[in-house]
Amino acid sequence: MLRIVSFISLLATLISGIHAKSVELTFELPDNAVECFYEQIENNTSASLEYQVITGGQYDVDVKVEGPNKQIIYQQQKMQYDSHPFTATQTGIYKVCFSNEFSTFSHKLVYMELNVGPEQPLPGVGEHATVLTQLEASAEEIHSSLNKIIDHQTHHRLREAQSRKRAEDLNERVFEWSIIETAAIVIVTFGQVMILKNFFSDRPTLYK
């Protein structure tokens, strides 16, 4: 009975701890615009930034990460996607900015994930001095596997959304080009008919 209760407790803890401590955002970045996000990070804390442009223009954006004293930690121009781990050198507000100022008419849809600090361990697991039991070790392994599954699902959803948008844009361009070709064929056909009609039209002949 105690083993069943312990298993249920560990399972509930596992489910509550599935999501890692992170910030995930999907936001619209208008043309000629800059969007910045701020995060308080303690000194010597590890962090990582991951982003991807889902839709819009050439699927690129300018990215910059600044520390509390305005030092540039990371900066890239016209990137489609990337990830960058870093360690905070001092406590303060860190700024992550996405810029679309180089685009005059293309709106972008951007996905961003900011992870700060190490992943929190499962509550109740590893708090005692003894070696982990088989049940606790299995819970840790399942927890890690579920986090990997969540990451893979997120990346697959982003790729699916990006591929769908590209397919829709391609279909729209093919449709517009088909309309232009159809109109050109109709105009050329009408012009040829009129020219041939003039060649074979009866003209009055004057006899002296």
pLDDT tens sequence across 18-64: 444 678 888 899 988 999 999 999 999 999 999 999 888 888 899 99
Indicate the fold that domain 17-119 takes in CATH: Jelly Rolls (2.60.120)
Mean pLDDT for 6-29 is 55
Q: What percent of the chain has pLDDT over 70?
A: 78
Domain ranges of the chain: 17-119, 121-200
| Angle between helical axes of 134-200 and 2-16 (0-180°, round to 10) | 40
Give the pLDDT confidence score for residue 149 in this predicted structure.
Answer: 80
Nearest Cα to Cα of residue 102 among 193, 199, 12, 29: 29
Higher model confidence: residue 170 or residue 205? 170
pTM score of the predicted model: 0.61
Give the pLDDT confidence score for residue 7 in this predicted structure.
Answer: 37
Higher model confidence: residue 165 or residue 70? 70
CB within 8 A of 139, min separation 6: which ones? Answer: 10, 11, 13, 14, 122, 125
109-120 pLDDT, tens digit per residue, is: 899 889 898 766
What does the DSSP assignment read for 71-90? Answer: -EEEEEEEESEEEEEEE-SS
Give the pLDDT confidence score for residue 3 in this predicted structure.
Answer: 39
**Residue 208 carries which DSSP code?**
-
Report the chain's C-alpha Rg in angstroms. Answer: 30
